[in-house]
Amino acid sequence: MAMVRVRFAIAAVAVAALLLGVNHYRVSGAALAAGEVTLQGTGATFPAPLYQKWFQEYNKLHPEVQINYQALGSGAGIKQFQQGLVDFGASDAAMTDDEMKQVKDGGVVLLPMTAGSVVLAYNLPGGPAEVKLSREAYVGMFLGKITAWNDPAITKSNPGVTMPDTKVTIVTRSDGSGTTFVFTSHLTAISDAWKAGPGAGKSVNFPVGVAGKGNPGVTALIKQTPGAIGYVEYGYAKQTGMPMAALENKSGKFVTVSLESEKASLASVQLPADLRAWITDPSAPDAYPIVTYTWILAHKKYSDPMVAKTLKSVLNYGLTQGQAFSLDLGYIPLPSGVVTEVTKAVDGIS
């Protein structure tokens, strides 16, 4: 069971340190007691910029509440949640039935709180403004079979431009990662060679490449390595101004990330009752090919009612006012039907 950490404020200075601003939003029916409440969470780096924004903005409305979120990767989020070290976890890979069975107390509810895309960001001095990568090309690059940027598998999708004879350096994740799970699940869905080789998982044995910790670590390695290409959450690439490849989708169309292409991907899958769905290879003609939901891991029942009440209030904020921050940070606002279903699941927490 998650360790409850409820502390009463010792001094007004401690409260003032949390006070970052003023807003008039209040969660209906969720007025919180005067005591200071601290929620501890760990997990995915993929949604971390959005979650941190939510938690900061929520704290402005409720300075008595502090949410400490450590973006250590989805693997760490699941593990610490299973061990009862945190009040909530976060993962881009929804927990499996076996993983949920390892949570001894309180049960588990999986809450898709936002969605986003995985992009192939690159650093190619002397290259074109935008690189198009076919499925053959990007699978071949990550398998180590395509080693130069002017390989025919790349040039044939980029007619009329000169691709530099630069070595391809693959950048992957060093930690247990939901972003890795999403990316390798996509590769497994589109490539028999990948399926029979590295396969899908939060950690896989990539045939080639260098590794960075978290989406920030991968982003940093790409930016400092000419010829590098790696998979990162779209928001990180957007915020740092990194070039992103147009990827060939299932319909054979080269697509970049946009709200329209992401919505087309989400529309290709219906969330089931347990709110776990994977979009490994969307079939819509205009769909961006690598889009995923990302989940908050919560208990169905908490031993401390104040922790349950506070967490529900925070989650409801994220599902309502919090969605307004999605686009600017590179995430997809949840479809209204999904918000409705996730809100029902949040209401069931006690």
What residue numbers bound the domain in which 140 lies?
117-266
Q: Do 299 and 313 reside in the same domain of the chain?
A: yes
Largest CA distance in the chain: 67
Q: Does residue 97 lie in a domain region?
A: yes
Q: Can you list the positions of beta strands (E) in the chain? A: 37-43, 65-70, 88-91, 109-122, 132-133, 169-173, 210-212, 228-233, 246-248, 254-255, 291-298
Does the residue 81 lie in any domain? yes
Q: Same domain for 79 and 201?
A: no
Q: What is the pLDDT of residue 32?
A: 47
Identify each DSSP E strand in 123-259 by its residue range: 132-133, 169-173, 210-212, 228-233, 246-248, 254-255
Cα–Cα distance, 303 to 6 (Å, whole number): 12
| pLDDT for res 30 | 37
The Cβ of residue 20 has, within 10 Å, a number of other Cβ atoms equal to 11
Do residues 146 and 213 both lie within one domain? yes
Same domain, 226 and 154: yes
What values do phi and psi take at 298, rounded to 5?
Answer: -130, 160
Residue where a domain terminates, one of 231, 251, 266: 266
CB-CB contact of 115 with 299 (8 Å)? no
Judgement on whether residues 249 and 172 belong to the same structural domain of the protein: yes
Q: How confident is the model at residue 297, as a pLDDT? A: 98
Using the 3D structure, point to which of 248, 266, 284 is the last residue of a domain: 266
What pLDDT is recorded for position 261?
97
Residue carrying structure tokens 């180590």: 144
Please give the span between the terminal C-alpha atoms of the chain, in angstroms, as a whole number.
Answer: 13
| Burial track 36-71 (b if 16+ CB lie within 10 A, e otherwise) | bbbbbbbbbbbbbbbbebbbebbbebbbbbbbebbb
Answer yes or no: do 86 and 175 share one domain.
Answer: no
**pLDDT computed for residue 35 by the predictor:** 66
> Residues 151, 131: contact at Cβ < 8 Å?
no
Same domain, yes or no, for 307 and 332? Answer: yes
**CB burial class (10 A; 0-12, 13-18, 19+) of residue 261?**
buried
Q: Which two tokens stand for residue 144?
A: 């180590």
167 contacts: CB under 8 Å, gap ≥ 6: 147, 148, 149, 227
Positive or negative, the Cα torsion across 68, 70, 74, 80? negative
pLDDT less than 50: residues of the chain: 1-34
Amino acid at 82: Q
Question: Are 209 and 330 part of one and the same domain?
Answer: no
Is position 272 within any domain? no
Cα separation, 250 vs 258, in Å, equals: 17
State the total domains in the chain.
2
pLDDT at 284: 95
Tell how strand 88-91 and strand 291-298 pair up.
Answer: antiparallel
CATH code of the domain covering residue 332 = 3.40.190.10
User: Nearest-CA neighbor of 177 among 146, 202, 209?
Assistant: 202
Would residue 48 count as lying in a domain?
yes
Alpha carbon 176 to its chain's center = 13
3 state SS of 154:
helix
Q: Are residues 223 and 332 in the same domain?
A: no
> Is 221 contained in some domain?
yes
Q: Mark whether 188 and 152 lie in a shared domain.
A: yes
In a domain, 17, yes or no: yes
Q: What is the pLDDT of residue 105?
A: 83
CA distances from residue 85 to 1, 111, 350 in whole angstroms, order as listed: 8, 19, 19
- 202 and 141 within one domain: yes
Could you tell me which residues come within 8 angstroms of residue 52 by beta carbon, excluding any fewer than 6 positions away? 69, 71
Question: Is 174 found in the same domain as 234?
Answer: yes
Q: Give the pLDDT of residue 106.
A: 87
Predicted pLDDT at 179: 94
Q: Is residue 313 part of a domain?
A: yes
Distance CA 63, CA 56 (A): 10
What is the radius of gyration, based on Cα positions, of the chain?
A: 21
In a domain, 50, yes or no: yes
